[in-house]
Amino acid sequence: MRKVQLITSNLGKLKEFRAALEPLGYDVAHLPLEVEEIQADTLEEVVVDCMRQVRALKVKDFIIDDSGLFVDALKGFPGVYSSYALRTLGCEGLLKLLEGADKRTARFECCVGCSLEGREDIVLSEACEGRIVQGMRGQGGFGFDPVFAAKGEERTFAEMPLDEKNAISHRGKAIKSLARQLR
C-alpha cells in the first residue's frame, strides 16, 4: 500500500478519502496541519497556494482538498467562503437566504491537489450539480450535506450511505479522476 497524507481539519473529508482510496491501494493517513487559506476567487488558487505552503514545511506525499457549495440564486455564494458560511450561517441560515427563491439549483465543487515524491503535482476539480432542498434532512455526511440533493435524487447527501454519496459527489468524482491519473 502506498502511503499518502490528507491535510485537513475536516474528519468528514478524511472518511470519504479513506473509503474511496483504500480499495485502490492507498493508505490515507491524517495530517491535521494548520494551513492558511488565501482569499481567492477560485478553489484552484487556494489549493495551489496551500500546496506551496505545505511543501515549504518539507512535507511529502500529501493531498489537499478545497471544496465549496455554489448556489445560483446567490450568484455562487458561499463558494470559496463556504467554510466561513457554514460556521456563521449554518445550514439553517442558508435555507433562510433562499426563502421565497424560485431557483434552488446549486453545485458542490471539489478541487484536489496531490503531491507525491517522484511525480508531477496534480491539481484537478470536479463538480456535482444539484439543488438546495426545503429543509434539513438526514444524519450522515457533514457540512451542507443535510440541505443538498444531487440532480435526479430525492435524498440529500446526509440521507445517503457514504458509498452512495462518494459514487456521485464532487469529491468522489475528484478522487476517481485522481486515482486514474495516478495509475
Which spans of this chain sit near ligand ITT (rule: CB under 6 A)?
8-10, 13, 65-69, 82-83, 86, 108, 141-145, 157, 169, 171
Nearer to ligand ITT, 26 or 43 (CB): 43
Query: Is 10 or 24 the residue whose CB approaches ligand ITT more closely?
Result: 10
Between 26 and 35, name the residue whose CB sits nearer to ligand ITT: 35
- Respond yes or no: is residue 41 known to be catalytic: no
- Of 69, 65, 95, nearest in space to 82 by CA: 69
Strand pairing report for 2-7 and 26-31: parallel
Cβ neighbours of 14 (radius 10 Å): 18
Whole-Å CA distances, 57 to 29, 47, 54: 17, 16, 5
Q: Encode burial over 94-107: b for 16+ CB neighbours within 10 A, e otherwise.
A: bbebbeeeeebebb
Q: Which of 27, 61, 65, 66 is catalytic?
A: 66
Taking the complex as a whole, the smallest distance from the CB of residue 15 to ligand ITT amounts, in Å, to 10
Shortest separation between residue 160's beta carbon and ligand ITT, angstroms: 11
What's the min distance (Å) between Cβ of 69 and ligand ITT? 6
CB of residue 143 to ligand ITT, shortest distance in Å: 2
Q: How many Cβ atoms are within 10 Å of 156's Cβ, its own excluded?
A: 26
Cell of 152: 435526479
Measured from the CB atom, is 78 or 183 closer to ligand ITT? 78
Active site (catalytic) residues: 66
